[in-house]
Amino acid sequence: MLIDEVGLGIFLGIVLGAGYSIPILLLSLVYRYIANERLPILMAVVLGVGLMGFAGGLSALADPRSLTTTQATQIAVGGFVIVWIVNLSDRLLTKVPHRGRLFGLIGKGRGEYKTIKLPDAQSMRDLIGRAKVPEQLKRDLAGMEFLLPSDLPIDELVARLKRRIITDWGVGNVELELDVHGKITYFALAGREQGVSASVKEGSVALPLRFERVPAGLGPGDLVTVYLKNGEVIDSTEVIGTDSVQKIVTIIVNQRSIEKFKDQEATLVIGLPIFKHLPLVKDVMTGPPQAVPLAETTKKVVELLSTQRRSSIVVLDGDKPVGIIRKHDLIEKAVAKELKLGSVQAKDIMTTPIVSISSEATLDEAIEVMRSKGLTELPVLDGTKPVGIFGMAELLKAGVTIPTRWSLKAKRQ
């Protein structure tokens, strides 16, 4: 019966596919240690299905009329099993450090090698102006080790490592730097390009403008200031595309500005510097932030804000931040109501939920949070632990100026 033949084919496909995957996996392991590359999946599948064919599968394809339902099912299922096992095992092998006795035996006489380890996911940056890679991919790459000849120049090591990551993991681009010991000091990724929309954040639009003059070599990811014919200035915006033939530059602007700029032309486009190693909040923050318990009096809060010369103070429930008191909270919820500061508790005037930033966030991300929320400073939290304070004072200390489009105006919440 047909069902019996299909069932037998599925059973044989699973058994033979799993069995013939074993020599292919051994070959993949040897190939990885000798060539320092993953065995191409197509080659592994062809070899595996080829071996399975000697058991009566592929040999029947020479005469299709003799091919039974069982054999056809066996070939299809076996091929699928081999693809799945080889692909899964090859990914697991990339996590295995390239050290041990096996490598010592295989690599004998081939010179010295060094292991280059990728940083953790939080230390992996996104290339400015390019499509972002999924966070899961960063976690998969985190801590991965690559074995490369130690006698290669640094530039060649970087080129080989970039080629391996782009080829094996399908990313669009990689930028990295190595120190003299082969340790990665900078690592940034970009996804494969997916059109304009991948580069446009929510609340922004891509605006094409005709231009008269632009810097030579201007391209996606550059930061520019655009001077328009009507005298308006678009300050510190990102370029996502240029067309030198049509003399059009495409930039990112706030969605609310589209009516204002849509029919304008640019007389001059000026390129601005961009941090290659974008500073993180933890590099410039001060702290830890001043904090008070829920039951603290408002009078004490006023005293603390006055002495520390900050505009906010964190409110804790035990060790957990649950709210924040800003100066306008004091004015609106206590002073304006003529309440006695000594009898009003912090929990009565605090603002919740608390708006914060991670210490691993970039300055650009922190500025965007402040801009969108209308704030001039943010508490820095690692999980639920307050570790610092970040605001305009820290930006000025770091030598960072705020472009016009990021002007921060205090907003009452």
Same domain, 340 and 312: yes
Residue 85 covered by a domain:
yes
Note the pLDDT tens digit of each residue in 327-340: 888 888 887 777 78
Write out the H or E segment, with its range, that includes residue 210.
strand 204-211
Same domain, 261 and 290: no
Q: Into how many domains does the chain fold? A: 4
Task: Give dist(CA 192, CA 134) in Å, integer.
Answer: 11
Specify which of 84-93, 304-313, 374-383 reaches the highest per-range mean pLDDT. Answer: 374-383
Domain co-membership, 350 together with 390: yes
| Judgement on whether residues 131 and 155 belong to the same structural domain of the protein | yes
pTM beyond 0.75? no
- The DSSP secondary structure of 312-351, one letter per residue, reads EEEEEETTEEEEEEEHHHHIIIIITTT--TTT-BHHHH-B
413: in domain: no
The answer to whether residues 327 and 383 belong to one domain is yes
The residue out of 272, 307, 326 marking a domain boundary is: 272
For residue 15, tell me if it sits in a domain.
Answer: yes
103 is a domain residue: no
User: Do 47 and 82 have their domain in common?
Assistant: yes
At 189-215, the pLDDT tens digits run 988 766 666 667 777 888 899 999 988
| Residues 117, 41 share a domain | no
pLDDT at 106: 41
Residues 31 and 77 in one domain: yes
> Is the domain of 239 the same as that of 183?
no
Last residue of a domain, one of 175, 190, 205: 190
Determine, yes or no, domain membership for 211: yes
> Per the domain annotation, does 61 fall within a domain?
yes
* Same-domain pairing of 393 and 289: yes
How many angstroms separate the CA atoms of 329 and 107, rounded? 68
Decide: helix, strand or coil at residue 73.
helix
Tell me whether residue 223 is in a domain: yes
Same domain, 238 and 295: no
pLDDT cut 70: percent of the chain above it: 74
pLDDT above 50 (res 248) = yes
The pLDDT of 401-407, averaged and rounded, is 44
Q: Tell me what percent of the residues of the chain surpass a pLDDT of 90.
A: 10
Whether 172 and 241 map to the same domain: the answer is no
Measured between alpha carbons, how far is 75 from 50 in angstroms, rounded to an integer?
10
pLDDT of residue 66: 53
Of 219, 240, 272, which residue sits at a domain end?
A: 272
Report which of 317, 319, 318 is spatially closest to residue 352, judged by C-alpha positions. Answer: 317
343-353: average pLDDT: 88
- Asked if 209 and 261 count as a contact pair (C-beta separation under 8 A), the reply is yes
> Is 99 part of a structural domain of the chain?
no
User: Is the predicted pLDDT of residue 144 greater than 60, yes or no?
Assistant: yes
- Per the DSSP assignment, residues forming a β-bridge with 251 are 207, 239
Which structural domain, as residue segments, surrounds residue 315?
A: 281-406
Q: What is the pLDDT of residues 70-109, one digit of tens each?
A: 667 767 777 677 777 766 666 665 544 444 334 444 444 4
